[in-house]
Amino acid sequence: MNFYVARQAILNKNKELHAYELLFRDSLENIFPDINGNEATAKIIDGLEFNLGLQSLTEGSVAFINFTLDSLIQGYPLLLPCEQIVVEILETAKPEKRLLAICIDLKEKGYTIALDDYEHNPIWLHFFPYIDIIKLDYSITSEAQFTKILATLAPFPHIKLLAEKVETYKDYHHALDIGCEYFQGYFFSKPNVIKTVAFNPSQLSVIHLMAEVNKAEPEITAIISIFEGDVHLSFKLLRYSQSPIFKRAVVIETIKQAVVVLGMQELKRCVSLLFSAQFSQNKPQELTVMALVRARFCELVDQNVTPSDSESSGFLTGLLSLLDAMVDGDIKELMDKLPLSLEMKQAIVNRVGKFADILKLCELFENAEWDKIDPHCQIVCVDSTQAAALFQQSMNWSSARIKALHP
């Protein structure tokens, strides 16, 4: 599933990037879709939470996000880190007691609060101690209104002004003259739409599992906790641990028992299999099979060439080499989202390093490029006959694991 968001730069007085305002879109067309504000806010939060992409979308700066009254009542801002967002209260929210209580609570929790498209109303004075930024819409605010707003804000020097919809050089200088700190509008830049890949909750759970099982010292309690938090993954683990391929007589009844019985090495493979299954939904099963073949081949070749504790790195490199095809995303963007070593990312994205060489050898077998296999085996330092046997072994292994997960 794709997640679309438009972002528009918010600059400081030096015309340097201060933040981005994130705006929901439902396609690469840079227009607001025909949905209400509540739904747009919900989709933005859902996309950011299940996408691991807030930092990459804002390039490390702050994100202004619009919130309706209903979304504030439901606590949507609390789903995102207070240091990374500005809670922008839409102009449709009325200055009532419920909203004031929410502002006080958000302020106590460390959130920055902005009022969007501010039109002066004396009732807002009760909110000003908790407001950090007021956005002035240059397309609708008259000179008399500017004067009134500035006079009202005089006792609240902590509130900064943001000039939005700044369309002309004249608007920009006027905003500077009245003391605006931040600027937003087509005079600087139009919103540009970004398409990224949104991860669902089960995919995020598998990512966290991958990060945990590949630590130097994995925490069994943390692994068990992640499995127990996802019924679907728990069922898959229990099914996998009792597969006939392990030839066990014992009946496994708990997540803890399954984790212990499998052992860390087989658990890593199980998590990798779950990862492949989660990320190749609605794709041909052959894609999952190919990813598993690559994973096992890279692991076996690395183990034979340089016996060490690095087999899991080879396995993950092979497995993730097809991630872009699984989710229809950009491979570099995807790698940036995952908790992987630089060596693995370099092998997958830039095809650099020993795992990249092994991966290339696997691709030569996949494509039956027999004339290139012998020369490349010399680069990898593996006998071509042995490499062919390892590739066949990897295909058999992949088929068996697929059956273990989907008997």
Q: What is the pLDDT of residues 240-274, one digit of tens each?
A: 888 877 777 667 888 999 888 888 888 888 888 88
Residue 26 confidence (pLDDT) above 60: no
Centroid of chain to Cα 63: 15
> Is domain 2-197 classified as CATH 3.20.20.450?
yes
Q: Domain extents for the chain? A: 2-197, 201-405
Q: How far, in Å, CA of 238 to CA of 374, rounded?
A: 42
CATH of region 201-405: 1.10.3210.10
Report the Cα 309 to chain-centroid distance in Å: 29
- Residue pLDDT, tens place only, 156-178: 999 999 999 888 778 888 999 99
Q: Highest mean pLDDT range out of 85-89, 202-206, 278-282, 399-403?
A: 85-89
User: Which of residues 263 and 4 earns the better pLDDT score?
Assistant: 263
**Is residue 48 pLDDT above 80, yes or no?**
no
The total number of residues written for the chain in this structure: 407
Which residues contact residue 135 at a Cβ distance below 8 angstroms, ignoring those fewer than 6 apart?
A: 88, 114, 115, 116, 117, 118, 161, 162, 163, 164, 184
Would you say residue 290 has pLDDT above 70? yes
DSSP bridge partners of 88:
66, 114
CA distance linking residue 205 with residue 226, whole number of Å: 7
What average pLDDT does the segment 60-81 reach?
86
pLDDT for the residue 370: 83
Q: Where are the alpha helices (DSSP H) in 280-322?
A: 285-305, 311-320
Mean predicted confidence (pLDDT) in 46-74: 71
Summarize pLDDT for 94-135 with one digit per residue, the tens.
889 999 999 999 999 999 999 998 888 889 999 999 999 999
pTM: 0.56
- What are the pLDDT digits (tens) for 355-374? 999 999 999 888 778 889 99
